Structure formats: C-alpha cells, structure tokens
C-alpha cells in the first residue's frame, strides 16, 4: 500500500503547486468551455477522497459536511472562494492525506459499503477505494492542468 500513498502524495504535491502558482483570481476563473475552475477541482479531490475512503467505510469524515456538499460530485462553483478558503483547502490537501495514512496503518478501515462508481467500477473494500481515489484525483489534476493554460 506504500506505493498507493506515494502516488497520492505526488498528486497532492502537484495540486499544491497549482495553488501556489496562481492568484486568487486565476483560481476562481472558469474558462470558456469549462464548467468549473482550478479551486473547485482541487477541493473536489479533497471532498471525494473523504467520501470514498471514510464515509463509505462508515467512518466520520475529517472535513465538514458543508465542505463535502459544496464540492461533491455533481456540484459546480457557486461563486468565488476567498483567500481564507484557499488556505483551508491548501491545509486539507496535506492534512487529510497524512491522517488517511495514519488511519490505514492503524487498521481503522474494517468495513466498507460497496459502491458502484459512475464508470461502473465497483468499490468493494478500502484497497479498491484507495486505488480508485488515485485514478479520480489524477483525472481532476489533468483537468486542472488544462484549465491553468486558460487562466
């Protein structure tokens, strides 16, 4: 499982660099042809990871339900985010990964509520969820890398 977390750490580092190298205006801009922006894609990774790993394991998320509702699948930006929220997202990128690694090592992911993704892939346990989460975060990192060319 070490490699799964190394991949997620690499993805999160790429997302942190995007945050650090773009202004608040750039992070909030939705380019023509896109339905979301840089900050939404980054926050969506955090929210989705919490749902896929914690909530489907029957455990409480490390982030607020409000955050999850704002950035979950099927949402889109409802307005500009503040610098304070960007800073919160920056912190969550690292903190949620670190906590997930710790929790995995402590074997807290005992149960898992089977879930079929929008691709039709069935997540049956924490291992599949961690693998799929990296795939999902990779997709949104790619979208963010595309968006940054237009902001």
Query: Is a pLDDT exceeding 80 seen at residue 1?
Result: no
116, β-bridge pairs: 122
Report the CATH number at residue 103: 1.20.120.450
User: How many domains are contained in the chain?
Assistant: 1
The 10s digit of each residue's pLDDT in 69-80 is 999 999 999 999
Q: In a 3-state reduction of DSSP, which class is residue 18?
A: helix
User: Which of 130, 135, 90, 108 is closest to 2 using CA atoms?
Assistant: 130
The 10s digit of each residue's pLDDT in 46-87 is 999 999 999 999 999 999 999 999 999 999 999 999 999 999
The 10s digit of each residue's pLDDT in 107-131 is 999 999 999 999 999 999 999 999 9
Domain residues for the domain of 42 are 2-150
């Amino acid at each position: 499982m070490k490699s799964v977390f190394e991949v997620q750490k690499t993805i999160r580092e790429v997302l942190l660099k995007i945050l650090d190298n773009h202004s608040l205006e750039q992070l909030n801009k939705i380019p023509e042809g896109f339905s979301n922006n840089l900050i939404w894609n980054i926050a969506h990774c955090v929210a989705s990871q919490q749902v896929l790993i914690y909530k489907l394991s029957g455990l409480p998320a490390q982030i607020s339900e409000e955050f999850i509702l704002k950035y979950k699948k099927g949402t889109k930006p409802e307005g500009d985010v503040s610098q304070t929220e960007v800073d919160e997202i920056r912190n969550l990128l690292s903190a949620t990964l670190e906590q997930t690694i710790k929790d995995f090592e402590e074997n807290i992911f005992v149960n898992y509520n089977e879930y079929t993704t929008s691709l039709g892939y069935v997540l049956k346990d924490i291992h599949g969820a961690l693998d799929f989460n990296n795939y999902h975060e990779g997709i949104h990192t790619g979208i963010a890398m595309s968006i940054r060319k237009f902001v």
